Amino acid sequence: MSRAPLLPDRPRPLVFAHRGCSSLAPENTLAAFTLARDLGAPGIELDIHATADGRLVVAHDDTLVRVAPPDNNGGGKKLEDLRYEEIARVDAGSFFDPRWAAERPPLLETVLETFCPGMYVDIELKSRKTRDDPLPGLLAEKLRALGGTISAAVTVSSFNPFCVRAFKRAWRRAAAPGGLRDIPGAVIYCADPEVPWILRRGFGRVLAGCDYLKPIHRQVNPLTPRWAALEGRPLVPWTVDTPALAERLVRRGCAGVITNRPQDMPWKR
C-alpha cells in the first residue's frame, strides 16, 4: 500500500512545537506560535474543533473552561455549540500570564496563512465521533482553498482513527481537481485509561489507513522504530521535553519529536 510521505522536503529530524511554545506562552495562541518561530522551531503542532457556524478554531479541549476566566469562557459550552464570533471574545491568555490577556483562540486559516509555508504544521483533529463528523470535510475544503503551497506544509493527526480516515477520503475528493499532493495522516496513541483500550497500542493505524504514527514517547522502545519502518510508517513521538531524550529517540530511528520546549531542542531552523 502506498503511503503519503511525511513532509519529504523538510530537514530531519522534524521538530513540532506542541501547541506552540507552550512552556513559555499560552497554548494554541498566536503568541505561542510566534514565539516558537522566533526561537527557531521549524514546525508547530495545534488542535482544531469545528464551531457551530462551520469555522475551524484552534483549541485543545472541548470547551474553553481550562484556559479562560470563569466569567469569559463561552459560558462553558462546547466549542461545537458556539459561533466563532462568541469564541473570538474569550480571553485565552491570562490563565498563563496576565500580559497575554488579549490573546484569543485563533482560526486555523489565520495560523496557516501566518506561518506556512515557512513552518510546517501538524493539525490534530479533536473529535469523538465515528461517523457523520463535519470536521474532516471542513478541514479538507479549507486546505484546498488555501492552495498547494500551504497544504504541502501540513500533516493531519488524531486519536480518533475514524476521523483520520474520513479526512484522507475527503482530501482526495477535494484535492483531485487541482492535482494537489496527498497529505500525510497519523494516529496518536498512548496507554492511558481515557483512550479506548483497543487504541492504546496503535491499532488505530489499521482503521485509519494512516501514513505515520504519533505514540507517547514512553511507548517507543528500541524495537518500535524497526517495526514501524517495516510498515512504512515513520514515528514522531510526544511530548519530548529534554534534549537527551529527543536525541535518543532520533538515534533509535524516529523521524522527529513533538515538544513543549522547542527552545531546548538541538535542532533549529
Contact residues for 2 (Cβ-Cβ < 8 A; gap 6+): none
Percent helix, strand, coil in the chain, to 5, is: 35, 15, 50
Q: What is the mean pLDDT of the chain?
A: 97
pLDDT at residue 79 greater than cutoff 90:
yes
C-alpha cell at 47: 488542535
Q: Are 138 and 50 in contact (CB under 8 A)?
A: yes
pLDDT above 90 covers what percent of the chain? 97
Q: What is the pLDDT of residues 85-104, one digit of tens each?
A: 999 999 999 999 999 999 99
Burial tier of 132 (Cβ tally within 10 Å: 0-12, 13-18, 19+): exposed
Q: Is 256 helix (H, G, I), strand (E, B) or coil?
A: strand
* 269 — pLDDT class (breaks 50, 70, 90): confident
Q: Which fold has domain 14-62+105-264?
A: TIM Barrel (3.20.20)
Q: Does 253 score more than 70 pLDDT?
A: yes
145-181 pLDDT per residue, tens: 999 999 999 999 999 999 999 999 999 999 989 899 9
Q: Averaged over 32-52, what is the pLDDT? A: 98
**Per-residue pLDDT at 209 exceeds 60:** yes
Where does 21-100 have alpha helices with state H? 30-38, 84-87
Domain ranges for the chain, please list them. Answer: 14-62+105-264
How many beta carbons lie within 10 A of that of residue 232, not counting itself?
12
Nearest CA among 258, 208, 251 for reference residue 233: 208
pLDDT beyond 70 at 41 = yes
Grade residue 2 by pLDDT with cuts at 50, 70 and 90: confident
Q: What is the pLDDT of residue 1?
A: 57
